[in-house]
Amino acid sequence: MRKLEKLQIIKNVSSSWFALGTNVLVGFFLWPFILHRLGEDAAGIWVLVFSITGYYGLFDLGIRSSVIRYVSKAKATDDRESASRLINTSLFSYSCIGMFTFLITVAVSLHVDRFHSIRPDFQYTARWLLLMVGGAVSLGFPLGVSGGVLEGLQRFDVQNLTSIATTALRAVLIMVVLQRGYGLLMVAFITVALPLLSSIVRSVIAARMLPVSLGFRYVDPATFREMASYGGTTLIVIIAARLRFRSDSIIIGAFLSTAAITYFNIGARIVDYAGEMVENLAQVFMPMSSHSDAQGNLDRLRKIFVGGNRFCAFTIFPICAILLILGKSVIEAWVGARYIDRSYPVLVILLLSTTTMLAQAASPRVLFGMSKHRTWAMVALAEGVVNIVLSMILVRPYGIVGDAIGTAAPLAVTTLCFLPWHLCRHLKIRMRTYLREAYLLPLVVCMPLVAVLLLMKRWFVPRNYLQLAAHLAAAGAVYGLALLWTFASKRAMRIGNLQSPEATLARPAGSGAAIESYTQEI
């Protein structure tokens, strides 16, 4: 049994990384193709509509996280009756939410001309695009239950493989229809239809893996209350995330133009791709923290907190350095030189603040694992509100750069002033000790990469993918050797004394022990 569990973990992790790589690569190379074929205004409308419908995620009410938790529990106890109540209640709740969001979509689409940034000749397209995307999102609520079931069953591989197939097919079909002269609505139809098809396939697979009875008699108000109680804090986190990271396009669309959304999105999207890599890595620290907290092992929680953020820093610091030094070249090679002047400042502003967050990506996971995340959720929500207000104040006088500052400033304050202090207080670690142990080594290891990039840039400035690849290959080789040295010398896994009133952490944490502990927790 243990062997099968470890094999499943390997499948889950490897498929997650493969799905992430596929999504990033397809998005990175497909977006310039869409942009140049459709134009800046159409691309801006695309981003605006998806930003508006992205707020429908607030209506999730934390139900999906409840499905994952209670399906996993029902599987462990072989409680089919509980699973039936859970799935039927979720399907009914999501169906009601889906109908409600579709009504909102219809109402908003009738007033799409209120966005003065949308040119009159694009208003018809924008209205139908909003109806199409909003309708798909509405259907996605009940169909999405299958995804929660698969995650609760620890079958991330099924979820990831269907996602990979959908992403690849979407890229091919979009390129074909654009080459044949079709427009924005056809691209949108492909984009929203394939995920719905994928959800239907997942529903069939999930029904076979966890066969349950379906019917209104299994819809249970008590089960809904239990799910809502568990998902309450999760809902706060969802709201905060939408306000913090998904409001910029709407604000820019309301005060500036759809073309301005495109310029902003170029810089923001590059930062998003970098963030996805770190967030994918950080996922493993939540179950590890939960297991250690259940055992009352404060010593190991400190290791996860410090060591997890150190590995996040190992990932984001070189990415940040590369984008700061070669960001203009990346934009030129990706979408063209004419976007550099307006998009690069956005990239720099968002990158610096986002790096402070991603270098601590393990911290919120540790809080969730300890069930101490409510305060952090409320702080993130307050940050999101300040983000909205500040962005609206700054976007008129300073354009998309002002909006970027409105997003970056509150994020930097919460991640630099609150989050590390909050964790150190909970885990009884001195702040300076945490900063030294988590970030000094990643900074030192990153220095040779910075030196190589600056020297190569003096030699020649990359203008295309081939020249950019030469710079990245040299920098990657140097950083790889530096990382190899840290692991070979065991410095990467070694954590010094973490002074606290209760305990002192002195023993190195070995990678084999960490992997073994993680597999045991799963």
Q: Give, in order, the Cα–Cα distances in Å from 330 to each of 93, 179, 222, 401, 459.
A: 44, 25, 53, 19, 17
499 within some domain: no
pLDDT at position 290 is 66
Angle at 470 between CA 468 and CA 474, to 5 degrees: 120
pLDDT single digits (tens) 354-367: 999 999 998 988 88
Q: How far apart are the first and last CA of the chain?
A: 12
Q: Is the pLDDT of residue 277 over 80?
A: no
Per-residue pLDDT reduced to its tens digit, 375-401 = 888 888 899 899 999 999 999 899 999
What mean pLDDT is reported for the chain? 81
pLDDT at position 517, please? 37
**Whether the predicted pLDDT of 521 surpasses 50:** no
Residue 189 to residue 178: CA distance in whole angstroms: 13
Q: How many domains are contained in the chain?
A: 1
Q: Tell me what the mean pLDDT of segment 148-177 comes to.
A: 82
Q: Is residue 271 assigned to a domain?
A: no
Q: Give the span between the Cα atoms of 131 and 104, in whole angstroms.
A: 10
What is the predicted pLDDT for the residue at 505?
36
What's the pLDDT tens digit per position in 465-488?
Answer: 899 999 999 999 999 999 898 888
User: So what's the pLDDT on residue 401?
Assistant: 93
The pLDDT of residue 366: 84
**Residue 221: enclosing H or E segment and its boundaries?**
helix 221-245
Domain contains 120? yes
Q: Which two tokens stand for residue 149?
A: 């079931």
For the segment 262-279, the average pLDDT, to the nearest whole number, is 85
Stretch 287-313: mean pLDDT: 80
What token pair was written down for 520? 């045991």
Produce one character per residue of 302-312: b if its CB has 16 or more CB atoms within 10 Å, e if not.
Answer: bbbbbbbbbbb
476 vs 55 pLDDT, higher one: 476
Q: Model confidence at 126, in pLDDT bands (50, 70, 90)?
A: confident
The DSSP result for 155-189, as a single string, is -HHHHHHHHHHHHHHHHHHHHHHHHTT--HHHHHH
Q: Would you state the pLDDT for residue 510?
A: 39
pLDDT digits (tens, 9 = 90+) for 396-440: 899 999 999 999 999 999 999 899 999 888 888 888 888 988 899
Please tell me the least confidently modeled range out of 260-269, 315-324, 333-342, 508-517. Answer: 508-517
The secondary structure of residue 217, as a DSSP letter, is G
Position 50 pLDDT exceeds 60: yes
User: Is 176 among the domain residues?
Assistant: yes
Report phi then psi at 481, rounded to 5.
Answer: -65, -40
Give the residue-averaged pLDDT of 117-139. Answer: 82
Question: Within a domain: residue 258?
Answer: no
**pLDDT at residue 506, rounded to an integer:** 39
Whether 98 is covered by a domain: the verdict is yes
Interacting residues of 272 by C-beta distance below 8 A, sequence separation 6+: none
Q: Of 132, 199, 207, 209, which Cα lies nearest the Cα of 163? A: 199
| Residue-range definition of the domain harbouring residue 27 | 1-231
Percent of the chain with pLDDT over 90: 22
pLDDT given at position 76: 64
Residues 322, 360: Cα–Cα separation, whole Å: 19
Q: Which pTM was predicted?
A: 0.72
Q: What average pLDDT does this structure show over 493-517?
A: 46
